[in-house]
Amino acid sequence: MKKLILPLTAAVVLSACSSTDSFTSDEPSASKVDQTMYLRGDFSLWESQPEYQLNAISRDIFQTRIKFTTADKAYEFKIADENWSAGLNCGYKNEDLDKFLELGIPVQANCNSVYNYFSFTPYEAGWYEVSINFRNLDKPLVTINQIFE
C-alpha cells in the first residue's frame, strides 16, 4: 500500500509545478488608461488642476487627495482627462445607486457621461482620497476614503 501512495504524491507535486496558471503583478506597468486623469469639480471650477491629478498606484487604480474644508457641504465632482474625452469622462452610472458617495463604498462609474456628477458630503472637514479602479473597463469603480494624519 505504501508503494502506491508515494507515486501518487509525486504525481500531484509534479503536476502543480507544471501548472500554466500565472500570477499577475500589481506593478504600475502598461496602464489601461493612457491619459492623465484629474479630479474635477466645484472645488476646482471644473478645471484640470495639477494638484488634483490622479496618480497610478497600480496598473488599474488611480487616486488623488483632496482637502474638503467645509463639513456638511455637498461637493460635486467627476474624474476626467484634460479634454473631457469620451471614455475618460467619468461620472455616476446609476443615479439611484452611484451618485452619492459614502466612505469606503465603491460605486460604478460611467466614463462616457456628460452631466452625471458624483456627490459627496463629508461629516467633517479634512483630507480625503478619491480613487478609480479600471480593472474592469466596462464597470470602473470610484471610492472615497478619509485620510487621518
pLDDT of residue 26: 46
pLDDT at 14: 41
Q: Which of 32, 126, 127 has its CA nearest to residue 87?
A: 32
Distance of CA 91 to the CA centre of its chain: 13
Whole-model pTM: value is 0.78
Specify the pLDDT at position 31.
58
Residues in the chain where the model's pLDDT stays below 70: 1-32
Contact 53, 36 (CB under 8 A): yes
Instruction: Kindly list the structural domains of the chain, giving each domain's residue range(s) and its CATH number in brackets, ordered by start.
Output: 37-147 (2.60.40.10)
Are 59 and 134 in contact, with CB atoms under 8 Å apart? no
Structure confidence by residue, pLDDT tens digits, 118-132 = 999 999 999 999 999
Spatial contact of 55 and 70, defined as CB atoms under 8 Å apart: no
pLDDT the model gives residue 33? 76
